[in-house]
Amino acid sequence: MRRPFIAGNWKMNLNIEEATTLASALAQQTASFRNVDIAIAPTHLALSSVINAVKNTGIHVASQNHYFEESGAYTGQVSPTMLRAAGVAYALVGHSERRTLFNESLAEVNKKMQAAFQAGLLPILCVGETLAERNQNSAESVIKEQIETALDGLSADQVAAVTIAYEPVWAIGTGITASPRDAQQIHAFIRKLLVDRYPAFVAEDVRIQYGGSVKPHNAAELLAQPDIDGALVGGASLTVDAFVGILHAITETQG
């Protein structure tokens, strides 16, 4: 049985004080959730303060982005080794906003995956199709390419430690959510890809999150699907009540 994993991506929201306040409140409100892994991803500026706010709690901290070089003349970038030294545990890689707004290529995503592991960070690999790709019935081929190129060169043990977040681009921040049936279909497809390419333990261990307008009112039905192991939450992770509401949905699915 895979342990559920709920992660909050705060994106470019909350200054240091606001982020610290939210992290502190979450640390208090989530102490009773023992059967789920929790992570939050603030901006780089707020990482240090947030890490201190959740120290010795059950909340892990994730980075929203990193460069694939360890150090050097790369103005404006942050290396994975710097993030790990600061206390970051997880790293978002390949989010659709990075791919579309910042032209992050498949090759760059792969380099970031490898750099994350070299630094001791656990990647959360984001994949998903646009509405146009879905309407063209190419969602599976798009996701297959994203996953295969991202995982290229990684060992089976490394792949087993990856979290994959399926986020249909058309559902991110739109209020539109994939139906539980549609989401499960893609999650099952992703797991089958792992079954076909790696030893059996890999597909059994990899957690596949759903992301895309996850809210307290729809989380339970989504998380009840057999291949949906958690959620990567955007807007609803910015308030204590909404994020904790999603965690309560996990407990409902666990009986």
> Catalytic residues, which ones?
95, 167
3-class DSSP state of 210: strand
Whole-number Cα distances in Å, 105 to 58, 94, 108, 110, 111: 34, 9, 5, 9, 10
E strand or H helix at 247, and its extent?
helix 240-253
- For 210, residues 6+ apart whose C-beta sits below 8 A from its C-beta are 165, 166, 167, 178, 183, 187, 222, 223, 228, 230, 231, 232
How many Å apart are CA 244 and CA 170, to the nearest integer?
25
**Cβ atoms 249, 180 nearer than 8 A:** no
